Amino acid sequence: MEIETKETQLQAGSERPVAQPDDIEYNLSVSPRSRFLEPFRDSTFGLGLLMLLISGGVFLVYDFFNQQKESTTNNVFFMLHYGLALSFSLALCLRGILHFHWQQYADGRPARWLGLLLWLISAYALNREISVFQQSTEWLCWALVMVSTAMALYGWKESLPIRVQQLLYIMLAFGWWLFVYMAIYVIPLYLISVPMLIGLGLSIHTFVPILFAITLGKRLWQDGKREEHLRLGIGIGLFVPLLAIGLFLSGWIRDLNHMEQTHMEATVRKTSDLPDWVLIAQQLKPDWITNRLLLSNRVYDQGQFFGGNGWGFSGLTAFDDVREHDPLVVIASQLFPADVLNSTDQLALSKILSGNRHGTEEKFWTGRHLTIQDVVSQVRIWPQFRVSYTEQTLRIRNQARNRTEEALVTFHLPPGSVVSSMSLWVNGREEPARLTTVAKADSAYRQVVNVESRGFARDPSVVYWQEGNRVTVRVFPCRAGEDRRVKLGITSPLKVIANQLAYQVPYIEGPDARSANEFIHIDFDSTPTSLKTPWLLEELNGNILTHRGSYNPDWSLLFAAPPLSSDAFILKNHAYKTELLNSESEPFSPTDVYLDVNKSWKQNEFITAFQIATKQPNCRVWVFDDGLKQLTETDLETTFERLSKQSFSLFPVYRIVNSATALLITKGTTMSPILNDLRDSQFADNLGQLAKQQVPIRTFCYLSDNDEYELSPYLKTLAELRVLNVTNGYTSDLTEQFKTHQFPHQPDESDLIALPEAGIAIRETPSQPAQASLAPDHLARLFTYNHLLHQIGRQYFVKNYQTDALIQEAQQAHVVSPLSSLVVLETTADYDRFGIKKDSSGLDNATLKQEGAVPEPHEWALLIMLASLIGWVVWRKKYAIH
């Protein structure tokens, strides 16, 4: 059935005559201006087009400026869309253009189609409040825009060239499939929508898809019968969506079969250390379809299209984040459910293949309507010490109307960085964090947020150390319509590049920051030379750089490296000083070479590594292929072909028997599990054997084609914990090391930690009497953080590796680490009941206003002497006899 008119029909039941060649020739002779104005002879069409532009423009502007928001203004805008659609429909009725009739009437059709488009916009505006469809995925948004554009252009159909007409009908045919899908999806709502038409009649939006499907279907059928040249476009438009669905389903089924096959093969593997989901992840090649398969029912809504749990639509619950509606995922997940893995393993698998660790973090409350409004970055740089301190203050706004939410922010830190302060604004006042153990901080936060706040929301915030130079900050509560401010302080070494130093800014993942404003204030402790600044920063004013504008995390500073300062920072009778990091080599001749092969390897790298290793006396070459296997000349090609199919490798370093004479050769991949992903697996338990290892395993990492050195996340953590001693280079560098029997030496001194990124080391020595503390306290923080990692080292893989001595060391320097976290609670009583005490004997939160050091005994003596001198002078002036 189609909505038509009799207004200018030739006769009852007649169609408009098919255009003859003479008519076409006449139309071509009409001027372009006349052809353009032809649809506007119907004043209703002009009115409808104006209303459509207003409604569509308002809809797009609202979406652009209201990302992730639940605003009361949506009700106002919806009533605008609804009012325009209803008003235009009434105008069509009054003009006699709109009524239900089975007969076809051509005149007035372009105007009626504009009316349908107005109802479509109104329906999607209502969908913001009542989620019949989840948020449309990107390709679906563009498809709806193109189909709507084609329907609006239908009024000029007769004046368009034949090829353009065919393209127009391709889009109309594609749109027909789209609206058929939507009409079937909302079938469960038809019965309840009919009685709800009484009143404002909002439930009429339920029938918008079926009206579109009927209207477009009849038009395609009729025009295809009458006009032969349109059949090609209609055929393409009908066939391509079916082809796309077929290809998507074939990829979906391929991945499901691959997962099922790997799952079954895991039971017959000789080595069953790794969880099944890791074995599946190694073999899957992540692509557009695989990503949707793994994130179905998490990021992408599965719907209930063909049954499952019953007909219906899936709305959001109180604590759900928004999902995307992709018709391809809905169809595929209902026909072929992704039930090979349980929910936990599927989540772990999606973390690896999608690379979206932030999005898969555990959430107690939703953060759907949170946005970052402001980012204030205050930076202090000490070029002479090659360190910097950055304070980033975020103002987070909850755009919801009546919903309390939780902010989850991941900070990606420059290599070697450590978090040394955090603050949360409570009742308009900045409250600094306290440092405690991870267990106590986590217990306090979970108790307050996940239990007590179900009744009454209270104020906690916590920061956790994460593998891969990351920390996670949680802030609660973010109340509806209010702002929360949180500040994180980050101590970082400056990166050395040739003879220059680079300051790298941390970047964040979390609430939407695309429309955030930013203020940057950079203060150099000494005047930089050869300074290279990004365009967004103003000229150097004294030693200060500033920027005000939109938030942009993609920038860095570059300046000449000055000589290192000999000044020290004094803490607890210990002095911390910087010195240049010497590159030393040590004699080394491996007896066993282990090749850690994955898809990033080239065949010539594999063969060369084997050949130069086997030329050494009594040197064996091993690969891990369902167990350690010694490599021979005869199986080189087949072994490489099999192992290079792995998306990533996870070499079991605990299987290396003699670490002192072993060499591990690897090549980095951006994708791999981290140690935390493997928690509670047999692989993780076996890593505990590394506690018996005497020396770090010497590791050579091939550089990529763009000269980048990158370890996998798994190996990067092992290197940070000094399980590995890593160097990098090309085949020529590896050959040279075998030829000279040399390997870079890793300092192994308890009072020295190396910062390779900055090309320096920080040494701890006993302080001298009256020695001045002139260096920033960040030297002690960086030393302690890296010293903690070294001490934890291979014990990291042993359960309950935390000791009182390690915790006290983290407390003294006030740094976030694998065993310490910063937490802010609302009251002193909260700290007391969770046993979180403030340690005043060491450093406190780092700050730009003053150093975090506590005075040393000799400093106290100097202060007392100075106070006595001032007191004596005041007394003398007041009481002396002149």
- Tens of pLDDT, residue by residue over 336-363, are 988 777 777 777 888 887 777 887 788 8
| pLDDT recorded at residue 400 | 82
Rounded Cα–Cα distance for residues 694 and 140 (Å)? 57
What pLDDT score does 7 carry? 39
Domains, the chain, with CATH or none: 2-234 (no CATH), 244-360 (no CATH), 361-581+763-789+800-851 (no CATH), 585-744 (3.40.50)
Between CA 100 and CA 201 the distance in angstroms is 18
- pLDDT over threshold 60, residue 12: no
Confidence bin at 19 (pLDDT 50/70/90):
very low
Contacts of 731 by beta carbon, 8 Å cutoff, 6+ apart: 604, 605, 608, 609, 702
- Rounded to 10 degrees, the C-alpha dihedral 95/100/102/104 comes to 30
Q: Give me the sign of the Cα torsion angle 468, 473, 474, 480.
A: negative
> Side chain identity at 284, as an amino acid letter?
L
- Tokens encoding 263: 């799952």
Region 275-298: mean pLDDT is 83
Q: Which of 151-160, 165-174, 616-625, 870-879 has the lowest mean pLDDT?
A: 870-879
User: DSSP readout, 4-18?
Assistant: E--TT-SSTTPPPPP
Q: In the structure encoding, which two tokens stand for residue 189, read together?
A: 């709502």
Asked if residue 670 has pLDDT above 70, the reply is yes
pLDDT at 72: 59
Give the model confidence (pLDDT) of 186-207 as tens digits: 998 888 888 777 766 788 889 9
Across the chain, mean pLDDT equals 84
Rounded to the nearest 5°, which phi and psi values hold at 549? Answer: 170, -155
Q: What pLDDT is stored for residue 312 in this prediction? A: 38
- How high is the pLDDT of residue 104? 47
Kindly state the greatest CA–CA separation across the chain: 127
Helix crossing, 109-127 with 208-226: angle to 10°?
A: 150
Sign of the dihedral through C-alpha 576, 577, 580, 586:
negative
Read off the tokens for 23.
């008519």
Average pLDDT over residues 524-550: 89
Q: What is the pLDDT of residue 143?
A: 94
Q: At what angle do helices 208-226 and 162-185 cross, to 10 degrees?
A: 150
pLDDT of residue 348: 81
Residues 6+ apart with CB under 8 A from 470: 357, 410, 411, 412, 413
Beta strands per DSSP E along 456-530: 461-466, 470-478, 483-493, 495-497, 500-504, 507-509, 517-524
Do the beta carbons of residue 773 and residue 612 sit within 8 Å?
A: no
Residue with tokens 């719907």: 303
Residue type, 857: P
Q: How confident is the model at residue 306 (pLDDT cuts 50, 70, 90)?
A: very low
pLDDT of residue 403 exceeding 90: no
* Distance between start and end Cα atoms, the chain: 115
What is the per-residue DSSP string for 147-207?
HHHHHHHGGGGGGS-HHHHHHHHHHHHHHHHHHHHHHHHTHHHHHHHTGGGSSS-GGGGGG
Residue 436, classified by CB atoms within 10 Å of its CB into exposed (0-12), middle (13-18) or buried (19+), is buried
Over the stretch 566-579, which tens digit does the pLDDT of each residue have?
Answer: 999 999 889 999 99
Could you tell me the pTM of the whole model? 0.79
pLDDT at 294: 82
d(CA 484, CA 130): 28
| 90-104, 230-244, 324-338, 802-816: which is most confident | 230-244
At 585 the three-state DSSP class reads: strand
Give, for 397, the enclosing helix (H) or strand (E).
strand 387-398
The residue-averaged pLDDT of 254-272 equals 79
Phi-psi region of 689 (alpha: psi -120 to 50; beta: other; left: phi over 0): alpha
pLDDT top residue among 136 and 269: 136
